[in-house]
Amino acid sequence: MQRIIEANIARYKALLVDETDATKRTMLGRLLAEEETALAAAKQTPAEVKKAY
Protein backbone atom coordinates (compact mmCIF):
# COMPACT_ATOMS: atom_id res chain seq x y z
CA MET A 1 0.00 0.00 0.00
CA GLN A 2 2.78 2.42 0.87
CA ARG A 3 4.46 1.90 -2.50
CA ILE A 4 1.28 2.90 -4.30
CA ILE A 5 0.89 6.00 -2.17
CA GLU A 6 4.55 6.93 -2.69
CA ALA A 7 4.14 6.45 -6.46
CA ASN A 8 1.08 8.71 -6.42
CA ILE A 9 3.00 11.38 -4.50
CA ALA A 10 5.86 11.28 -6.99
CA ARG A 11 3.42 11.47 -9.91
CA TYR A 12 1.52 14.46 -8.48
CA LYS A 13 4.77 16.29 -7.77
CA ALA A 14 5.95 15.67 -11.34
CA LEU A 15 2.64 16.88 -12.76
CA LEU A 16 2.81 20.06 -10.67
CA VAL A 17 6.17 20.97 -12.20
CA ASP A 18 4.74 21.40 -15.70
CA GLU A 19 1.12 22.36 -15.02
CA THR A 20 0.23 26.01 -15.63
CA ASP A 21 -3.55 25.90 -15.25
CA ALA A 22 -4.44 27.26 -11.81
CA THR A 23 -7.46 25.00 -11.37
CA LYS A 24 -5.49 21.87 -12.20
CA ARG A 25 -2.63 22.97 -9.94
CA THR A 26 -5.08 23.42 -7.08
CA MET A 27 -6.55 19.96 -7.64
CA LEU A 28 -3.10 18.38 -7.85
CA GLY A 29 -2.12 20.15 -4.65
CA ARG A 30 -5.16 18.73 -2.89
CA LEU A 31 -4.50 15.23 -4.20
CA LEU A 32 -0.87 15.50 -3.11
CA ALA A 33 -1.88 16.59 0.39
CA GLU A 34 -4.34 13.70 0.66
CA GLU A 35 -1.72 11.18 -0.39
CA GLU A 36 0.86 12.61 2.00
CA THR A 37 -1.70 12.31 4.81
CA ALA A 38 -2.48 8.73 3.77
CA LEU A 39 1.23 7.90 3.74
CA ALA A 40 1.69 9.29 7.24
CA ALA A 41 -1.28 7.25 8.45
CA ALA A 42 0.01 4.11 6.73
CA LYS A 43 3.38 4.50 8.44
CA GLN A 44 1.69 4.74 11.84
CA THR A 45 -0.48 1.68 11.28
CA PRO A 46 0.82 -1.50 12.95
CA ALA A 47 2.14 -4.20 10.59
CA GLU A 48 -0.56 -6.65 11.63
CA VAL A 49 -3.30 -4.31 10.46
CA LYS A 50 -1.52 -3.68 7.15
CA LYS A 51 -1.48 -7.40 6.38
CA ALA A 52 -5.27 -7.53 6.71
CA TYR A 53 -5.67 -5.17 3.75
Q: Contacts by 2-8 with C-beta closer than 8 Å and gap 24+?
A: 2/39, 2/42, 2/43, 5/35, 5/38, 5/39, 5/42, 6/39, 8/35
pLDDT of residue 43: 87
Segment 4-48, tens digit of pLDDT: 999 999 999 999 999 999 999 999 999 999 999 999 998 886 665
CB 25 within 8 A of CB 16: yes
Residue 1's pLDDT is 85
Cβ atoms of residues 45 and 18 within 8 Å = no
